[in-house]
Amino acid sequence: MIEQESGRSKLFVLLSANVAVAILQFNIASIYSLMAQEFATGVSGLGLASSVFFLGIGISEIPGGILGTRIGPRNAVLTGMVLSSTSIIFSSILYNFSLIIVARFFTGIGVGAAFPPLVILLTSIYRKGSEAQAIGALSLSFNLGGVVGLFGWAVLGELLGWRYSVFISGLLVAVFGILIYKNFPKTESNFESKKLNFSDLRAALFDRSLTLVTILLVGIGAAGALNWNFEVYFLETTLKLSPGLAGLIGGVGPLFAISAPFVGRVYDRRGRAKVWLFASALLLTVGVAITALDTIVAAILASIFVGIGTSIGYTIGLTIAKEAGRALRKEYESIAVGWADSISLLGGFFSPIVFSFVVLEKGYSIGWISGGFFALILAVPFLVRKR
């Protein structure tokens, strides 16, 4: 529930900004076939472009969380959005694929730095005890960005070319950065810079529950990254679908993330983290693996299962991370969230590289099946733990 009426406009701005940021992650999958024609690259190029983005996010989330405790969550979010917007706009004018890879790396750094303080800004709008519902809303907006990035940018890329589509995505982030600046005045934040106690912080980051859920999130991130980054390109090159239709199928799954706020609300009231996270891992395993059937129906089901599975996993997982940080000191919340999400992005970093290698050596079927079961395997330590 929203804390006050004035918080609704702030909620809209934050969630819309998250949609814009999510487009930066998803649009590479929908426009890559156009880029591949210009730069004469194949599936390995897509794997590299995806991996460096996740690497940038992964190495910047903890610094982003620390930055949020030092300069305030609003200023930390704006810093990340400026970097991501500038980098992605710059990539639209480059004519060297290697430099585009570098630009996507810095785009990922900006996205990663903005995420932990964005979570704190968002949860501050909700009433106490509704943290999971808030993170569910964030997950929903992220997945809506996936719909727009996968389908909308596939159409936009065909109409305007991939360069203009990339430029527009960076411009959107800049616009919503300005709106955050105007809707979250510094005088309203009542923020005081906090001095970190690194002994307490280390205890928070290596909390047993946080460690186990982070390992589970690595599997979720790996499976999600395969679907988000490769399904559209796979449908275009293997099933010979048009970019628009392939993007539409890829964007079906994120629509089902509408369940995320509901999941968060139920979790806030009843808990049962193991049940939710097992369901998440199982959906992801089945979703990624059935893509190997090489049919349109299987691809649609895969997109739906992955959309629901990732929204559940990240909603519950990041809520547990936030709770672990708050257990010691409230200002550690953003750092704990950044830690969990950044480690989980190891899956998003290495899985595209490994997947593209497996595809080149063994074919797509083996890649999809092995990638799917990875999510379930890494869920086991959390699921079998004793309370």
**How confident is the model at residue 89, as a pLDDT?**
93
- H-only helix segments in 40-96: 43-71, 73-91
Measure the CA–CA gap between 178 and 111, rounded to whole angstroms.
Answer: 16
The domain locations on the chain are 7-183+197-383
- Per-residue pLDDT for 7 more than 90? no
**How confident is the model at residue 350, as a pLDDT?**
75
Is residue 347 exposed (0-12), middle (13-18) or buried (19+ Cβ within 10 Å)?
buried
The label of the residue with tokens 């590289």 reads: 353
List the beta bridge partners of residue 126.
Answer: 2
Judged by average pLDDT, the poorest of 127-136, 153-162, 289-298 is: 127-136
List the beta bridge partners of residue 2.
Answer: 126
Measure the CA–CA gap between 233 and 223, rounded to whole angstroms.
Answer: 16
Element (H, E) at 181: helix 162-183
Measure the CA–CA gap between 199 and 58, rounded to whole angstroms.
Answer: 23
**How confident is the model at residue 63, as a pLDDT?**
84
Please give the structure tokens belonging to residue 244: 């628009």
**How confident is the model at residue 188, as a pLDDT?**
45
**How confident is the model at residue 109, as a pLDDT?**
93
Closest by CA to 10, choosing from 172, 147, 181, is 181
- 127 or 316, which is more confident: 316
Amino acid at 75: N
The average pLDDT across 210-236 equals 82
Measure the CA–CA gap between 212 and 189, rounded to whole angstroms.
Answer: 33
- 214 or 302, which is more confident: 302
Report residue 192: phi and psi, to 5°.
Answer: -125, 130
**How confident is the model at residue 60, as a pLDDT?**
87
Measure the CA–CA gap between 154 and 27, rounded to whole angstroms.
Answer: 8
Domain 7-183+197-383 has CATH 2.60.120.650: no
Most confident of 67-76, 165-174, 326-335, 349-358: 165-174
What is the overall mean pLDDT for the chain?
80
- Per-residue pLDDT for 323 more than 90? no
The average pLDDT across 116-127 equals 78
Most confident of 153-167, 237-251, 328-342: 153-167
* Percentage of residues of the chain with pLDDT beyond 90: 10
- Per-residue pLDDT for 152 more than 50? yes
